[in-house]
Amino acid sequence: MSTEPPAFAAEPQRIAYHEPGDLGTLRTYVTSYAERAGLPPSRSGLLALAVSELATNTLMYTAGGGTMVLWAEPGEIVCELHDQGPVGSRPAAARMPAPDAPSGRGLALVDEVCDEVRTYRTAQATVVQVRMRL
């Protein structure tokens, strides 16, 4: 995978990820793309965090990796992560676990930092869509 994002494009950008080493590339790409689209750096970092958490879940709990699809719409950035995980395993609104819980914060962080989070199933994949307003 290339670590250099291309010039900003409004067309959906697709990046496959298959191993933990791909996560840094996803974060770098999302941050650069979002900032080029007009998302402030502090918010682009939060979007990159959300994408990283979702992609990490894909790598931990599904087989075969996933695909990130990223695009800009008027007034917002939209990012989808497609994988083969069961949609029922992702609660609509995750709650932060107890402070002494060893894990389980990823989905709660995604819900906290993104303006909108949706999960749905297509014939080919389970999709988690996150949106951030510009």
More confident residue, 107 or 39: 39
Greatest alpha-carbon span in the chain: 43
Q: What integer pLDDT is reported at residue 6 of this predicted model?
A: 43
The pLDDT confidence band at residue 4, using thresholds 50, 70 and 90, is very low
Across the chain, mean pLDDT equals 85
Look up the pTM and report it. 0.83
Report the pLDDT averaged over residues 8-32: 90
Question: Given its phi and psi angles, is residue 64 left (phi above 0), alpha (psi -120 to 50 degrees) or beta?
Answer: left
Helices first, then strands: H and E counts in the chain: 3, 5
